[in-house]
């Protein structure tokens, strides 16, 4: 039972009961301004998750969320490449397309050599000697055809993704678009949690919505066993006698200055 800091060990012992942690809410307002939900209506999403990066694209488009006021993303890890122009010289490499010797200027791309007139997009057949190209499923496509037929759309800004792709919540995202609502940092491949449909990094989620164990000062996560005693919340393994560390879970205990004590040390210790 809770008592005043200056009182002796309580003569009215308490008994703890164990509970399984679910979802916690802060007592007061968090001060966070909520932006519109990132998920589609009637679309089920996990409350926690881990992001995967994949080159296999199959994405659906959700309404863009502009609450963080970010500028349009740039693909820092872009998939678009450009061929290198090599002037005529003593080298006579083999063309990767026609397997014939190249006598004159040639292009180098993907570690191979090409006749300039034969380095063409697999779809539109236009030359890629002076524009960007992307390799997809063993074929080469110009930047425009790749963007049109292969590049996924970002679930937030609805622009095509030409660089690293984040797969989360059954959608695809730019790295710079899938960010923690609280701190604004990219979540990348880290564990994240959803609150009211918004993603939070693990640190901010527990800081805003979690409950801290009074014993170890670490968060009590969903699924953890916990108990409430002395006006605080504890992991079941953290609620122990302050002197001998004997577990007090389900046991009669005493307290002195908000410190739990077993029967043995209830009247023999001064803090």
Q: Residue 50 domain-assigned? A: no
Q: Of the residues 164, 182, 209, which one is the last residue of a structural domain?
A: 209
pLDDT in tens, 133-146: 999 988 999 999 99
Q: Specify whether 230 is located in the same domain as 162.
A: no
**What's the total number of domains in the chain?**
3
Q: Residue 64 domain-assigned? A: no
Q: Of the residues 131, 150, 169, which one is the last residue of a structural domain?
A: 150
Q: Specify whether 162 is located in the same domain as 132.
A: no
Q: What integer pLDDT is reported at residue 71 of this predicted model? A: 39
Q: Specify whether 202 is located in the same domain as 216.
A: no
pLDDT in tens, 78-136: 788 999 999 988 788 999 999 999 999 999 999 999 999 999 999 999 999 999 999 99
pLDDT in tens, 148-166: 999 999 999 999 998 888 9
Q: Specify whether 145 is located in the same domain as 166.
A: no
Q: Residue 82 domain-assigned? A: yes
Q: Specify whether 132 is located in the same domain as 181.
A: no
The dihedral over CA atoms of 54, 55, 57, 60, expressed in degrees to the nearest 10, equals: 40
The pLDDT of residue 7 is above 50 = no
Q: What integer pLDDT is reported at residue 108 of this predicted model? A: 95
Token output for 220? 């009590």
Percentage of the chain lying above the pLDDT 70 cut: 70
Q: Specify whether 100 is located in the same domain as 146.
A: yes
CATH of the domain at 78: 2.10.110.10
Q: Residue 43 domain-assigned? A: no
Which domain, by its residues, includes 249?
210-262
Q: Specify whether 105 is located in the same domain as 123.
A: yes
pLDDT in tens, 35-94: 333 433 333 333 344 444 433 333 322 333 333 333 345 555 678 899 999 998 878 899
Q: Residue 223 domain-assigned? A: yes
Q: Residue 3 domain-assigned? A: no
Are 121 and 141 contacting, i.e. CB atoms less than 8 angstroms apart?
yes
Q: Residue 167 domain-assigned? A: yes
Q: What integer pLDDT is reported at residue 37 of this predicted model? A: 37
Q: Residue 104 domain-assigned? A: yes
């Amino acid at each position: 039972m809770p008592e005043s800091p200056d009182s002796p060990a309580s003569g009215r012992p308490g008994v703890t009961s164990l509970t399984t942690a679910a979802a916690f809410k802060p007592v007061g307002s968090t001060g966070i301004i909520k932006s519109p939900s990132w998920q589609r209506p009637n679309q089920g999403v996990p409350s926690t998750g881990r992001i995967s990066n994949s080159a296999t694209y199959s994405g659906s488009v959700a309404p863009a969320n502009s609450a963080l006021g970010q500028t349009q993303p740039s693909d820092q890890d872009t998939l678009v490449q450009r061929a290198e122009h090599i002037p005529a010289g003593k080298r006579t490499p083999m063309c990767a397309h026609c397997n014939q010797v190249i006598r004159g200027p040639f292009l180098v791309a993907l570690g191979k050599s090409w006749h300039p007139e034969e380095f063409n997009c697999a779809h539109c057949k236009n030359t890629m000697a002076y524009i960007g190209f992307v390799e997809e499923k063993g074929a080469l496509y110009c930047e425009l055809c790749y963007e049109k037929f292969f590049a996924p759309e970002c679930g937030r800004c609805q622009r095509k993704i030409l660089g690293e792709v984040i797969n989360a919540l059954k959608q695809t995202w730019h790295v710079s678009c899938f960010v923690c609502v609280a701190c604004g940092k990219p979540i990348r491949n880290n564990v994240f949690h959803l609150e009211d449909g918004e993603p939070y990094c693990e640190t901010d989620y527990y800081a805003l919505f979690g409950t801290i164990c009074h014993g170890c000062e670490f968060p009590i996560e969903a699924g953890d066993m916990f108990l409430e005693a002395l006006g605080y919340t504890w992991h079941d393994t953290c609620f122990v006698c302050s002197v001998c560390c004997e577990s007090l879970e389900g046991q009669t205990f005493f307290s002195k200055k908000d410190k739990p004590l077993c029967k043995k040390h209830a009247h023999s210790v001064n803090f």
